[in-house]
Amino acid sequence: MAEELNPFKIAQRQLDDAAGIMGLDKQAHALLREPMRTVVANIPVKMRDGTTKAFTGFRVMYNNARGPGKGGIRFHPQESLDTVKALSAWMTWKCSLANIQFGGAKGGVICDTKTMNPQELENLSRAYMRAFRNVLGPNIDVPAPDVYTTPQIMAWMMDEYSKMSGQDEFGMITGKPLEIWGSEGRFDSTALGGMYVLREAAKLKKIKMKNAKVVIQGFGNAGTFAFDLATKMFGAKVVAISDSTGGVYSDKGLDYAKLKKAKDETGSVQGYKGAQSVTNEELLELDADVLIPAAIENQITQKNAGKINAKILLELANGPVTPSADEILIQNGVFDLPDFLVNSGGVIVSYFEWVQNRGGYYWGENEVYKKLDTIITKSFNDMIQTQKDYAGKGKKISPRMAAYIIAVGRVAAAMKVRGWY
Ligand code: NAD
C-alpha cells in the first residue's frame, strides 16, 4: 500500500494513535481531529504593471481552549489548505507541550515571492491583514513569520492592522523587527531551543557531544544556526550539510565560515571546496551521532527509515518523519525526538515577545535564553517522565507519543473545564 504523505492525514493519524494509547474521551477526540475555524480568502493585490491579481490565502485556527491561536504565515507556491491545517494542529500541540498561553493556528498564501518586487510583497502583506482582520488580534489569533515571510513583512502587517483598529497593536503579531518591539533572541531561537533539547538527550543517552558527528539537512534559518550553535556550544563536528541542490561531506568536519562564504558566492553549499558531494538521500543515511533534518516534510519515510545510521534524530523541520518511518526508527533504537518539541524554541520566544508587548517592559538577550532553556528543558523532562510512567504500566511508547499524550491531555482538560464537552 502506498504510504500516506498528506500532512493533515499524518497529523490526524498521530492524534488517533495518541488518543488510543491515552484512552481519550470520544467527544474530545472528535473536537481535536479538525480545526475549529478555517477561513479561505480571495485576496486582490495591485501589481507593478497596474493590474490586480487574485491570490488565495488561508488562516486556520485549530484550537483556542488554552489561549489565542498562534502560528506563522507561509508565502509559498505549493501552499495548500491541508498543509496549513496540519501545521496548525502541530502548533496546537507545540504550544501545549511548552505549556504557554496559546492555542494553535497557521496561515498561508499561494504565491511565489521570488517573482514579486518589494512593493508587491508589501501590497500582499497589507491585503492579507485586511482579508483576515476579523479573525486575527492579540487576544484572538497571533501570526508570526514562517517560510518566505520575514520580520519586514510582520512590520507591514502590524502597521496595517493597527491602522484598521485605530491604535498601535504591537502584540497582534510576533517575529517583528526590534524597532517595533520584537524580542531579543528571536532570530536564532528555533535552533537554540533544538540545541538545549540535544544537550539533554545526549546526557540521557550518555553520548559525548565534543567531536560528535553531526549531519544537517537544510541550510536556511534553522539549519545554519544549528550548524553554528552545535560547534560553538558543544565542540561537535558537522560532517555533512545540504540545501535543495544537494550536500557536501567531509569526515574531518566542515568549516562554518567557509561554508557560508561558498553559499553566498555560488548560491549552493556545493561550492564548498575540499569536501565530497552527496545527494540529499545519501546525506540522510550517513553514519552520525546526530542527524538534524532542518528542511521540509516527509524526508524520512518507510523507504529510507531502515537505513538511518544516527543515534539521535533531532527533528528541527516540521513533519520530516512519517508515521510508518517512526515505527521503523523505534525498532532500530534511533532516539527520534519529535518536531513539536525540538523546534518549539521559535514559538516560545514568540510567546515572550507577546508577553513583553502586553507589559511594555523588555528583557535582555540572556534573560530570554535562560527562560527558553527552562521551558524547553522542562518539556523534554516531562516527555521522558511520561514514557517512564507508561513503561511502568507495561506500555512502551515513543518520545513522540509521550509528547502527544501530554499536549493533547492539556488541551482536552482545558476544553472539559470550559464546558466544551
Ligand atoms: P528556510 O526556507 O530558511 O530554509 C530551508 C532550507 O531547506 C534551505 O536551505 C533549502 O535549500 C533547503 N531545502 C529545501 N528543499 C530541500 C530538499 N528537498 N532537500 C534538502 N534541503 C532542502 O526555512 P527554515 O525557516 O530554516 O525552516 C526549515 C524547517 O524548519 C521548516 O520545516 C520549518 O517549518 C521549520 N521551522 C522553522 C522555524 C524557524 O523559526 N525558522 C521554526 C519552527 C520550525
Mean pLDDT over each residue of the chain, to the nearest integer? 97
CA of 243 from ligand 1 middle (Å) equals 9
pLDDT above 90 covers a percentage of the chain that reads 98
Residues 6+ away with beta carbon under 8 Å from 247: 217, 240, 241, 269, 270, 277, 278, 279, 280, 282, 283
pLDDT tens figures, 210-253? 999 999 999 998 999 999 999 999 999 999 999 999 999 999 99
Whether residues 44 and 143 fall in one domain: yes
Ligand 1 contact, 246 CB (< 6 A): no
Structure confidence at residue 241 (pLDDT): 98
Structure confidence at residue 229 (pLDDT): 98
Whether residues 196 and 330 fall in one domain: yes
CA of 317 from ligand 1 middle (Å) equals 6
The residue whose C-alpha atom lies closest to atom 30 belonging to ligand 1 is 317
CA 138/CA 125 separation, integer angstroms: 18
Asked whether residue 347 is assigned to any structural domain, the reply reads no
Alpha helices (H) in 59-138, listed in sequence order? 81-98, 118-132
pLDDT at 180 over 80: yes
Q: Strand, coil or helix: what is 336?
A: strand
Range of the domain at 273: 189-337
CA 257/CA 263 separation, integer angstroms: 10
Q: For cell 484550537, what's the residue?
A: 63
Q: How confident is the model at residue 369 (pLDDT cuts 50, 70, 90)?
A: very high
Whether residues 196 and 328 fall in one domain: yes
Structure confidence at residue 2 (pLDDT): 86
Asked whether residue 253 is assigned to any structural domain, the reply reads yes
State the CATH number of the domain containing residue 230: 3.40.50.720
Ligand 1 contact, 294 CB (< 6 A): yes
Task: Give the count of domains, the chain.
Answer: 2
Site to substitute for ligand 1 among 90, 114, 146, 291, most atoms within 8 A of C-beta: 146
CA 257/CA 279 separation, integer angstroms: 22
CA 64/CA 89 separation, integer angstroms: 11
For residues 188-195, average pLDDT: 97
Asked whether residue 266 is assigned to any structural domain, the reply reads yes
Q: How confident is the model at residue 1 (pLDDT cuts 50, 70, 90)?
A: confident
Alpha helices (H) in 166-220, listed in sequence order? 189-204
Ligand 1 contact, 346 CB (< 6 A): yes
pTM of the predicted model as reported, rounded to 2 decimal places: 0.97
Whether residues 44 and 162 fall in one domain: yes
What does each C-alpha distance from 98 to 20, 29, 167, 376 come to in angstroms? 23, 21, 31, 7
Comparing CA positions, the residue from 341, 338, 353, 320 lying closest to residue 143 is 353
Asked whether residue 8 is assigned to any structural domain, the reply reads no
Whether residues 299 and 198 fall in one domain: yes
pLDDT tens figures, 241-290? 999 999 999 999 999 999 999 999 999 999 999 999 999 999 999 999 99
Domain finish residue from 143, 170, 197: 170
Ligand 1 contact, 215 CB (< 6 A): no
pLDDT tens figures, 41-75? 999 999 999 999 999 999 999 999 999 999 999 99
CA of 321 from ligand 1 middle (Å) equals 14
Whether residues 238 and 153 fall in one domain: no
Residues 6+ away with beta carbon under 8 Å from 366: none
Domain finish residue from 170, 201, 217: 170
Q: How many Cα atoms sit within 13 Å of 176 on the Cβ side? A: 25
Ligand 1 contact, 279 CB (< 6 A): no
Ligand 1 contact, 193 CB (< 6 A): no
Structure confidence at residue 410 (pLDDT): 98
Contact yes or no for 254/239 (Cβ under 8 A): yes
Structure confidence at residue 114 (pLDDT): 92
The residue whose C-alpha atom lies closest to atom 1 belonging to ligand 1 is 220
Whether residues 142 and 253 fall in one domain: no
Structure confidence at residue 153 (pLDDT): 98
Task: Annotate 295-332 with DSSP letters as a single string.
Answer: S-SS-B-TTTGGG-EEEEEE--SSS-B-HHHHHHHHHT
Which cell is 389 given? Answer: 510512567
Whether residues 225 and 307 fall in one domain: yes
Whether residues 112 and 228 fall in one domain: no
CA of 305 from ligand 1 middle (Å) equals 20
Whether residues 143 and 193 fall in one domain: no
Whether residues 214 and 163 fall in one domain: no
pLDDT tens figures, 386-414? 999 999 999 999 999 999 999 999 999 99
Whether residues 197 and 304 fall in one domain: yes
The residue whose C-alpha atom lies closest to atom 18 belonging to ligand 1 is 244
Question: Bridge-partner residues for 142, per DSSP?
Answer: 70
State the CATH number of the domain containing residue 57: 3.40.50.10860
pLDDT tens figures, 77-95? 999 999 999 999 999 999 9
Q: Residue 78: exposed, middle, or buried by beta-carbon count in 10 A (0-12, 13-18, 19+)?
A: exposed
Residues annotated catalytic, as ranges: 106
